[in-house]
Amino acid sequence: MSKGNYIRRYGSINAHVVLYVFFIMVTANALCMILFNILYAAGVVMGTAPMLLLLVTLSVSTIIGSALTYVFSGVVLRPLLQLSAAMQKVAKGDFTVKIGELSSMYEIRLLQENFNIMTRELGGTEMFRNDFINGFSHEFKTPMVSVYGFAKQLKKGGLTPQQQEEYIDIILSESQRLINMSGNILTLNKLENQEIVSDKTVFRLDEEIRRSILLLEQQWSRKNITVIPELDELEFYGSAEMLRQVWLNVIGNAIKYTDENGEIKITLDRSRSDENEVVVAVCDNGIGMDKKTAERIFEKFYRGDTSRTSSGNGLGLPMVKRIVELCKGTIRVTSEPGKGTEFYIYLPDERFAEEERPTRRKRGADRVTA
């Protein structure tokens, strides 16, 4: 019998109740016998009618049994009362509560462990919600203040044609930023509430990545960046439209943080450890980032550029991470300041059953995992 089955069988509430009842009955009978022997030795019960003696014995046994039941019921009910009190705290919004002393009874212990998991998840969700609201408020307020300020200057008048043109460009830029932010938030919210990818088809993954590179041509051409695609011809089963957001965001991110005349290399091939998995790598020789920044780039509204001089709203990479997760893949990043950044995206081809895939080799031990 395995340890888990043993605990379930002999550590259950039923087993504890049976043991407690058996102990109470034996203890009550033993105390009655001791009391009867004492009274018999003292000559108190001699000559007593049998029915009366039986009634006295049953009464004494009942009283003793009830007293023992009251005492031992606390052992069973105490963890349930603790759990009830903890749940009342959670109902009032306290998600830091945790049950430290776990019961020896399997069912109650399982309930307590699940309660601790629940409060931990709720606490994380509450923290995330607060961070999200604070981040969104800040990100939304900044362009709104710019739009309001420059629109107010335009209404006052007295500006040169050059100033008017400049202010209008700023208003248009900030308005576009708000539109992009709203669209990204809606898309990310949809992805976070989505569990199943429905529009799956077989398509040429290399052609989709090549198409994304062409869509971004204006951006990398403006900075005279050399883009080197090394894409194996691969068919893939998944959502081409959803994955397009991944390529546009990751490649666009590489373009943004690569200096003029820089280089971006994009590769696509099969994984060395799993033939049913594809690997897309986007590597640049741009400004790079430190370890602390690399660990946080998949957080909502986080931007490594604290000066906020670069475009973006810190939602692109969180969206990428969520899409990769929905596709049952992983994304990893390694970077070093001044030496560039490398993104690795691992995607399983879902045409093959999970059990048919060989065990994956541990990858990227020296990489920062998202």
114 domain-assigned:
no
Whether residues 283 and 354 share a domain: the answer is yes
239-271 per-residue burial string, b: 16 or more CB within 10 A, e: under 16: bbebbbbbbbbbbbbbbbbbeeebebbbbbeeb
The answer to whether residues 298 and 321 touch, using CB atoms and an 8 Å cutoff, is yes
For residue 330, CA distances in Å to 162, 184, 214, 263, 345 come to 49, 21, 25, 25, 6
Residue 65: which of 37, 17, 29, 36 has the closest Cα? 29
CA distance 154 to 177: 20
Whether residues 208 and 136 share a domain: the answer is no
Whether residues 319 and 235 share a domain: the answer is yes
The answer to whether residues 246 and 325 touch, using CB atoms and an 8 Å cutoff, is no
Q: Which of 92, 111, 143 is the last residue of a domain?
A: 92
Whether residues 146 and 279 share a domain: the answer is no
Whether residues 173 and 257 share a domain: the answer is no
Q: Tell me, what amino acid is at 120?
A: R
Nearby residues of 234 by Cβ (< 8 Å), 6 or more positions away = 204, 205, 206, 268, 269, 270, 278
Calculate the CA 287 to chain-centre distance.
30
CA distance 175 to 147: 7
Whether residues 143 and 34 share a domain: the answer is no
Whether residues 151 and 186 share a domain: the answer is yes
Give the start-end residues of each E strand in 220-309: 226-231, 235-238, 263-270, 277-284
Q: Tell me, what amino acid is at 299?
A: E
336: which 2 tokens?
């070093």
Q: Which of 154, 172, 192 is the last residue of a domain?
A: 192
CA distance 162 to 171: 14
Whether residues 178 and 212 share a domain: the answer is no
For residue 339, CA distances in Å to 153, 185, 286, 302 come to 43, 32, 6, 21
Whether residues 219 and 72 share a domain: the answer is no
Whether residues 251 and 170 share a domain: the answer is no
CATH number at residue 134: 1.10.287.130
CATH number at residue 300: 3.30.565.10
**Residue-range definition of the domain harbouring residue 54:** 3-92
For residue 110, CA distances in Å to 120, 121, 212 come to 15, 17, 49
Whether residues 168 and 252 share a domain: the answer is no
Which pLDDT value is given to residue 366?
37
CA distance 303 to 317: 10
Record the pTM. Answer: 0.54
104 domain-assigned:
no
309 domain-assigned:
yes
CA distance 311 to 304: 12
Along the 370 residues of the chain, how does pLDDT read in single tens digits?
A: 444 444 444 445 555 565 666 666 677 667 666 766 676 666 665 555 555 555 666 666 777 666 666 666 666 677 777 888 888 888 877 878 887 777 666 777 788 888 888 887 777 666 656 666 666 666 677 778 888 888 988 888 888 888 889 989 888 888 887 877 777 666 666 666 666 777 788 999 999 999 999 999 999 999 999 999 999 999 999 888 889 989 999 999 999 999 999 999 999 998 776 778 899 999 999 999 988 888 888 887 676 654 444 555 577 888 899 889 888 899 999 999 988 999 999 999 877 644 444 444 333 333 333 3
Domain count, the chain: 3
The answer to whether residues 266 and 281 touch, using CB atoms and an 8 Å cutoff, is yes
Q: Which of 192, 223, 252 is the last residue of a domain?
A: 192
* Pairing outcome for strands 277-284 and 340-348: antiparallel
Which pLDDT value is given to residue 326?
86
Q: What is the DSSP string of 224-246?
A: T-EEEEEE---EEEE-HHHHHHH
